[in-house]
Structure 1
Amino acid sequence: MDFRQPSTWDEALAAKADHPEATPIAGGTDVMVELNFDRRRPPVLLDLTRVAPLTEWAFDGEVLRVGAGVPYSRIIDELGGLLPGLAMAARTVGSPQIRNRGTVGGNLGSASPAGDAHPPLLAAGAEVELASVRGVRRVPVAEFFAGPKRSVLEPDELIAAVRVRAVTTPGGAGVPRVAEQFAKIGTRNAMVIAVCSFALALDASRRTVGTGIGSAAPTPVRATAAEAFLAEALDWTSRDPVPPAVATEFGRLVAEAAAPIDDVRGTAAYRRHALSVLARRTLGWAWADLTTERS
């Protein structure tokens, strides 16, 4: 196995162009497990830990550009008020040691249906920034996943960043216009792969709804019918609780959007039921957040 360790982004892209079969490694929380269990033996490892721009985040207008090498712990500490849904998901990832090493870019790169970062990125309408020596392109995260552990990444491309609209204005000033929530069910309370997960974003300024479903389909997916229903059913000017019939129908539509299977972590029927419950709960929490801010 060959090992490459570029120190600049240009060097990293050049190395990937020269060795399209190379496996990128940053935190190593997925790659090293596969190597240790001999499930994968790539001919080239491309270590990106010295590429400083990958560990940076900054505003680009109202959008946050988060480098692919920013670890979960920094998303929690530095971006919790700007990207609350992603921060909530980050808090459920592994142990503190894993959160210090693991990255959203690595989560996207593995393209697992159970990736914890994927549902909040879907709900927020994020874009994935992909780069190669040929240039840069942006792919909506909803179009990024091509199948179980497969993505639209070309062989010579690397994930540079994710671009996500922050819930408040740059600097964190002003009243949040978006309420985000994330919920996950596992076989225990911590350090667990999701049986299923769900993320919700309610945008009061645009009167839109975003959703993300994890670990209940071949890829992370949105519940588009549920989004359209809820955007029309909510009284965006009201401070009253969401009517039970609206919450129930929203939960039903979310469960209907999933395509789960039976496996060692849970049955398809359980996953559908759990998603319906998570959808109703996160809706109540997110709506309470919005109405509290308007009070």
Structure 2
Amino acid sequence: MNPTTFSLNGRALDLADENPKQPLLRWLRERHLTGTKEGCGDGDCGACTVVLREPDGAGGSHFVAVNSCLLPMGALPGREVLTVEALAEGASLHPVQRAMVDHGGSQCGYCTPGFVMSLFAGYYEGELSDHATEGNLCRCTGYRSIRDATAALRMHPRDTDRFDALRAAPRAPQGAAALEGFHSPAALADALALKAAHPEAAFIAGGTDLGVNLSRGQAVAPAFIALDRVVELHAIDVDETRVRIGAGVPLTRIERELAGLFPALDELLPWFAARQVRNRATLGGNLGSASPIGDLAPVLLALDATLELAGPSGRRSVALADFFLDYRKTARAPEEIIVAVTLPRRDDIAQAGYKVAKRQTDDISIVAAAFALARDAQGVVTHARLAFGGVAATPKRALEVEAALLGKPLDAAAVETARTALTQAFTPLSDHRASAAYRRALCGNLFAKFAREKLGVEGAA
């Protein structure tokens, strides 16, 4: 496979003359592979789901469901893509397709190929649950029949097939590649050198944020430097005192490989967008975008995260508490890359993460909150972190409320005092998702919920 070639349904195709900013979804449909549907173009509905065969880090490969509307063609050299057209063999449907037919999982049929591709990935990766299709919206069939099809696939044994053989085949990490104006380095030093040579270029990681802009035909930047192949950004290092997570690690890997280490992260990640988004979204991208409603920032603030930045002048560390400066502004210089996030490990804190949104998955937060609190043997608070997103121009900690909790017993009266103070700690905006008053009430009520459920404080509201 040459540096500008990718594999589509087992066929090698050259992208040398293609527009690297065009979404894969539009490219497929222009070539009459119209099983992949366009629903929203924002990564919210799942109608455009395709599957990538990616390296699994152990010499083999795995299938990863992604939204093709958010995947620019510039990210594809060296990759392998499967669309719904690849599943059936002649007149013989794939078992996933057959299950959808047998259980009436299709009515208008528009969303069905996306459901099929999400279930296809789950079928081979051992995840046949609601989480496999949480990023797929159905507007007419209803979910009961689709869930019945999922349950049938889960319960019945299956034979090894050609996709099992493909999945077991060796798959080397994607090497460096480039299409015109879209650079995909494999080393951090090369990424920094490219930025020095092309200062107008924008960094792009998983593309689940900037991919929305590209899907809408917005220019964004004259060139891009993709970070999703930089090997150093994909490391996870765990020891007894801390966890260091590479900024390019997809959120599904964090969800899987760090399960049980940070309960607040465990509780929030399943509600972070949907599986297709988490398969591409990265830790560094979520923080670098500096969105005031970024779901991860409150959890990482509560856990005292530190960021490692690299630039032409070397590396430096910045506490996440000092990283967000103003709306969409951070302490990262334009030429710097977020390399990793480090979280200290503590056994003495109770922690929790909460997300309130209009629907459970695949939605933007109204308010996201995370709490980490420690008490001594007498019940006196010795450590307090109360962090929120969606209530200010940046993710913020309630510093005054934290200070008021320290050195005092946490009883029902103290919780009520903190709850009241939290309703006045921020000045959120009213928008189409929620009023400012509702957001302020959530800040206090979520802390009371934490005190009751995680700390056992009786009488907490």
Same fold (TM over 0.5): yes
User: Offset at 1:17?
Assistant: 2.4
User: Offset at 1:39?
Assistant: 4.1
SS in 2 for 1:181: strand
Measure, in 1, the Cα distance between the counterparts of 2:213 and 2:305: 28
SS in 1 for 2:396: coil
> Aligned pair 1:286/2:454, yes or no?
yes
> Which residue in the other structure is 2:414 paired with?
246
> Aligned pair 1:94/2:273, yes or no?
yes
Kept in 2, the 8 Å contact 1:130–1:153? The answer is yes
Deviation larger for 145-154 or 56-65: 56-65
User: Offset at 1:233?
Assistant: 2.4
Measure, in 1, the Cα distance between the counterparts of 2:356 and 2:209: 21
Measure, in 1, the Cα distance between the counterparts of 2:262 and 2:415: 24
> Which residue in the other structure is 1:272 paired with?
440
Measure, in 2, the Cα distance between the counterparts of 1:267 and 1:35: 31
> Which residue in the other structure is 1:172 paired with?
none
Kept in 2, the 8 Å contact 1:213–1:258? The answer is no
Measure, in 2, the Cα distance between the counterparts of 1:199 and 1:31: 26
Query: Aligned match of 2:197 in 18, 22, 47?
Result: 18
Q: What RMSD in Å do the two structures reach over aligned CA positions?
A: 1.9
2:407 maps to a residue whose letter is E
SS in 1 for 2:424: helix
> Which residue in the other structure is 1:292 paired with?
none
Measure, in 2, the Cα distance between the counterparts of 1:143 and 1:256: 22
Q: Structure 2 vs 1, CA of residues 16 and 285 (structure 1 numbering), >3 Å: closer, same or farther?
A: farther
Measure, in 1, the Cα distance between the counterparts of 2:283 and 2:422: 24
Kept in 2, the 8 Å contact 1:111–1:145? The answer is yes
Kept in 2, the 8 Å contact 1:113–1:220? The answer is yes
CA shift digits 1:234-289 (9 cap, x unpaired): 3xxxxxxx522111111122232222011111111110011111111122233249
> Which residue in the other structure is 2:307 paired with?
128
> Aligned pair 1:183/2:354, yes or no?
yes
> Which residue in the other structure is 1:195 paired with?
366
> Which residue in the other structure is 2:424 paired with?
256
Measure, in 2, the Cα distance between the counterparts of 1:165 and 1:267: 35
Measure, in 1, the Cα distance between the counterparts of 2:425 and 2:199: 35
Query: Aligned match of 1:229 in 388, 396, 404?
Result: 404
1:266 maps to a residue whose letter is A
User: Offset at 1:147?
Assistant: 1.8
SS in 1 for 2:352: strand
Measure, in 2, the Cα distance between the counterparts of 1:157 and 1:208: 32
Kept in 2, the 8 Å contact 1:130–1:158? The answer is yes
> Which residue in the other structure is 2:383 paired with?
208
SS in 1 for 2:206: coil
CA radius of gyration, larger in: 2
Deviation larger for 278-287 or 213-222: 278-287
User: Offset at 1:188?
Assistant: 1.7
Kept in 2, the 8 Å contact 1:119–1:221? The answer is yes
SS in 2 for 1:225: helix
1:230 maps to a residue whose letter is L
User: Offset at 1:19?
Assistant: 2.3
> Which residue in the other structure is 1:4 paired with?
183
> Which residue in the other structure is 1:42 paired with?
221
Query: Aligned match of 1:31 in 191, 203, 210?
Result: 210
1:214 maps to a residue whose letter is G
Query: Aligned match of 2:255 in 51, 60, 76?
Result: 76
Kept in 1, the 8 Å contact 2:240–2:345? The answer is no
Kept in 2, the 8 Å contact 1:179–1:287? The answer is yes
Kept in 2, the 8 Å contact 1:70–1:104? The answer is yes
User: Offset at 1:228?
Assistant: 1.5
Measure, in 2, the Cα distance between the counterparts of 1:187 and 1:137: 39
> Aligned pair 1:151/2:330, yes or no?
yes
> Aligned pair 1:119/2:298, yes or no?
yes
TM-score, scaled relative to structure 2? 0.57
Measure, in 1, the Cα distance between the counterparts of 2:450 and 2:196: 43
Measure, in 1, the Cα distance between the counterparts of 2:219 and 2:348: 44
Measure, in 2, the Cα distance between the counterparts of 1:78 and 1:161: 16
CA shift digits 1:152-202 (9 cap, x unpaired): 2111101101111123xxxxxxxx322210111111222110111110011
Measure, in 2, the Cα distance between the counterparts of 1:204 and 1:19: 51
Kept in 2, the 8 Å contact 1:16–1:156? The answer is yes
Percent identical among aligned pairs is: 37
Deviation larger for 111-120 or 242-251: 242-251
1:221 maps to a residue whose letter is K
> Which residue in the other structure is 2:231 paired with?
52
Kept in 2, the 8 Å contact 1:181–1:285? The answer is no
> Which residue in the other structure is 1:67 paired with?
246
> Aligned pair 1:162/2:337, yes or no?
no
CA shift digits 1:96-140 (9 cap, x unpaired): 111111111110011000000000111111111111121111111
1:250 maps to a residue whose letter is A
> Aligned pair 1:137/2:312, yes or no?
no
Q: Structure 2 vs 1, CA of residues 40 and 277 (structure 1 numbering), >3 Å: closer, same or farther?
A: farther
Q: Structure 2 vs 1, CA of residues 226 and 196 (structure 1 numbering), >3 Å: closer, same or farther?
A: same
User: Offset at 1:204?
Assistant: 4.3
Structure 1 gaps of 5+ residues are 168-175, 235-241, 290-295
Measure, in 2, the Cα distance between the counterparts of 1:63 and 1:272: 33
